């Protein structure tokens, strides 16, 4: 089974991997910018997300092998890989497992370490939505607001809604499997995994996902890594400060 993607432009292949409960469309604006700068951009839906296939099997080994199968199917010999959060862990695992397939690596606001499950509030809120009764996006947002007060997070999540049939909404992501695999989402790559290629780690200045004391761990797994910070941004740094995110990534890619 091959992952669903949207391919934009022509040039050097650049794969973009979204985060937990996200999808390829989250990166559409930045994808257009990269394509305008000479890259063939592959906006990829990871398994159990977006329009890609659903599966009970879900960990970073599976997600990494999905990327390998994808590039084989697209006849890509070597690519640049950008990954955010969960997608960053997938990108790390892929680069460590298949280094000859990765030209450069960009990791957005995630470190090679274990993160305890911390999305329970979001999952619980999503599970409360009864699509036998909810028939509009406005209704879904009103219901979800009882559990999640942050408007931006709700809008991010509700982008996953689609019409199964007339009058029948559903989420594209596989909520039940993701709920059951929360522990896997926080897992780290292997303690002996390394990638020696050029790597850029970007963190948001308001995010706590990459701390100063994570730098040694990053360098142990990715000895050729540069670590930089995006200003005025939290965990969704590419959405909160897209201009600075793009400028720092394109500088890294063009050097």
The pLDDT mean for the chain works out to 96
pLDDT of 167 reads 86
**pTM listed for this prediction:** 0.96
156-207 tens-digit pLDDT: 999 999 999 988 999 999 999 999 999 999 999 999 999 999 999 999 999 9
Give catalytic status of residue 85 as yes or no: yes
Spell 100-136 as b/e; 16+ CB within 10 A means b.
ebbbbbbbbbbbbbebeeebeebbebbeebeeeebee
pLDDT of 210 reads 98
**Tokens 């370490």 -> residue:** 113
100-137 tens-digit pLDDT: 999 999 999 999 999 998 888 999 999 999 999 999 99
Give catalytic status of residue 118 as yes or no: no
26-49 tens-digit pLDDT: 999 999 999 999 999 999 999 999
Options 4, 49, 235, 238, the catalytic residue = 235
69 C-beta neighbours (distance < 10 Å), count:
12
pLDDT of 117 reads 84
Options 5, 35, 64, 85, the catalytic residue = 85
Q: Which domains does the chain have, with CATH numbers?
A: 5-115+187-254 (3.40.50.1820), 120-180 (no CATH)
């Amino acid at each position: 089974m091959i992952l669903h993607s949207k391919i934009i432009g022509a040039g050097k292949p650049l794969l973009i991997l979204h985060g937990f409960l996200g999808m390829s469309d989250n990166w559409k604006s930045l994808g257009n910018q990269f394509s305008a700068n000479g890259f063939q951009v592959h906006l990829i839906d990871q398994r159990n997300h977006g329009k890609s296939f659903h599966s009970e099997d879900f960990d970073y080994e599976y997600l990494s092998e999905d990327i390998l199968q994808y590039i084989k199917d697209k006849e890509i010999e070597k690519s640049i890989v950008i990954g955010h959060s969960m997608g960053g862990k997938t990108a790390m695992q892929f680069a460590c497992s298949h280094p000859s397939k990765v030209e450069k690596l960009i990791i957005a606001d995630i470190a090679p370490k274990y993160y305890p499950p911390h999305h329970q509030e979001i999952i619980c809120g999503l599970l409360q939505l009864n699509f036998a009764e909810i028939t509009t996006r406005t209704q879904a947002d009103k219901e979800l607001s009882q559990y999640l007060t942050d408007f931006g997070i709700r809008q991010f999540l509700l982008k996953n809604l689609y019409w199964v049939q007339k009058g029948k909404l559903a989420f594209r992501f596989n909520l039940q499997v993701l709920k059951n695999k929360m522990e896997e989402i926080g897992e780290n790559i292997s303690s002996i995994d390394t990638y020696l290629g050029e790597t850029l780690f970007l963190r948001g200045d308001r995010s706590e996902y990459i701390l100063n004391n994570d730098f040694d761990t990053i360098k142990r797994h990715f000895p050729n890594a540069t670590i930089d910070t995006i200003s005025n941004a939290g965990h969704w740094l590419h959405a909160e400060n897209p201009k600075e995110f793009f400028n720092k990534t394109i500088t890294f890619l063009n050097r």
